[in-house]
């Protein structure tokens, strides 16, 4: 392939799950519930599903090798009564965000991501200055950031993620199929027969290549022969946009990618690309492909949750505009699932 980020892989269940983003984590948590509901063998599910509760527990004994970096600050500052911020147990005038320093297009330590912009918007509304606690979104992320009180808010948390108290959803997106426009492939479903003849790029979670929902759905259809995997553990050699770049350069025919990543890098591609949103739920596996995204706070911080909900309501149009500027494909936000 000529790209260190990609390799041909099988799409069976992985053995030692590692997590790149909370979106993918929640995906498999929901997938587990679906699998149990349709009576798949528990042993098979546990062999490959990266269940965040288990990862959280194991991460207490397995410290992430990368040391935490000191917080950096950004955003706008104003004044607000100290009592208003102190009631949430956070320093006055400071909107402390937990984030990955290299997770574009959502966030990075240069404050270039859409979640960086949304954090600055909310901080300004609250009369605060943004400060970041940086940690890669792998094992230990919540423990080393939110749970350690190094920060107070995580952006981009999928609804239903049990380790945090969620706000209202501020957007909804899903997985998409990305193709070159000049190929006229028009793929809208993984049931399209043309996929059996194409090379298919998928994002894999971590260095042990656990598979994302589209990869598992492709495998369930017997189309694993043409699958090419791209790592989601980014480095100087392996970048977030590699999978989209591979479509543009003709190294793969189609990429099945998380919508915000696909939209952002497709927008900056020198080759015109088409994005087609996949169905909310895969017909064959029952895996969800679309998610509501929220802000997450500590479960005891109900006051902060309510304050953020009010700020989100005041800035719906502004947030939509930021997402649009980054090319994020959005879906109508759905009502939270009943528990």
Domains of the chain listed by start with CATH number? 73-171+290-325 (3.40.190.10)
For the segment 206-246, what is each residue's pLDDT rounded down to a tens digit? 544 457 899 889 999 999 888 998 977 778 888 889 999 99
Beta strands at 200-205 and 227-231: parallel, antiparallel or unpaired: parallel
Pick the more confident residue, 187 or 38: 187
pLDDT band at 140 (very low <50, low <70, confident <90, very high): confident
Mean pLDDT within 271-292: 95
The pLDDT of residue 306: 98
DSSP per-residue string spanning 215-260: HHHHHHTT-GGGEEEEESS--SSS-TTHHHHHHHTTSSSEEEEEHH
pTM more than 0.85: no
Please identify which residue in the block is written with the tokens 């088409």. Answer: 274
Looking at every residue in the chain, the average pLDDT score rounds to: 78
Nearest to 175 by CA among 255, 277, 246, 285: 277
Higher pLDDT, 336 or 184: 184
pLDDT tens for 58-111 read 232 232 333 444 444 344 333 333 333 444 556 778 999 999 999 999 999 999
Q: Report d(CA 297, CA 300) in Å as an integer.
A: 8
Segments in the chain forming alpha helices (H): 22-37, 42-48, 52-59, 82-86, 114-126, 141-144, 213-220, 242-248, 259-267, 302-314, 316-325
**Confidence check: pLDDT of 203 > 80:** yes
């Amino acid at each position: 392939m000529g790209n260190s980020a990609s390799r041909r892989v099988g799409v069976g269940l992985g053995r030692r799950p590692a997590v790149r983003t909370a979106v993918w984590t929640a995906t498999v948590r929901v997938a587990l519930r679906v699998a149990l509901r349709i009576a798949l063998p528990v042993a098979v599910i546990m062999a490959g599903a990266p269940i965040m509760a288990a990862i959280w527990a194991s991460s207490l004994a397995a410290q992430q090798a990368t040391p935490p970096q000191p917080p950096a600050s950004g955003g706008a500052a104003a004044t607000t009564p100290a009592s208003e911020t102190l009631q949430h147990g956070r320093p006055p005038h400071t909107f402390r965000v937990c984030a990955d320093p290299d997770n574009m297009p959502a966030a990075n330590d240069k404050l270039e991501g859409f979640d960086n912009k949304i954090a600055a918007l909310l901080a300004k509304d609250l009369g605060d200055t943004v400060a970041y606690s940086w940690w890669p979104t792998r094992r230990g992320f919540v423990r080393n950031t939110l749970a350690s009180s190094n920060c107070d808010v995580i952006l981009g948390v999928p609804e239903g993620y049990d380790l945090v108290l969620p706000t209202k959803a501020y957007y909804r997106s899903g997985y998409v199929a990305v193709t070159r426009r000049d190929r006229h492939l028009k793929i809208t479903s993984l049931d399209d027969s043309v996929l059996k003849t194409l090379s298919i790029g998928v994002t894999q979670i971590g260095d042990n290549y656990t598979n994302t929902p589209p990869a598992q759905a492709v495998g369930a259809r017997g189309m694993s022969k043409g699958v090419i995997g791209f790592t989601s553990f980014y480095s100087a050699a392996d970048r977030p946009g590699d999978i989209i770049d591979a479509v543009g350069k003709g190294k793969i025919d189609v990429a099945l990618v998380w919508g915000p990543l696909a939209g952002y890098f497709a927008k900056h591609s020198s080759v015109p690309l088409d994005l087609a949103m996949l169905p909310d739920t895969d017909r064959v596996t029952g895996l969800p492909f679309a998610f509501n995204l929220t802000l997450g706070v500590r479960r005891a911080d109900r006051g902060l949750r309510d304050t953020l909900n009010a700020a989100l309501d005041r800035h719906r149009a502004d947030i939509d505009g930021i997402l649009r500027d980054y090319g994020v494909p959005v879906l109508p936000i759905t009502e939270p699932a009943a528990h």
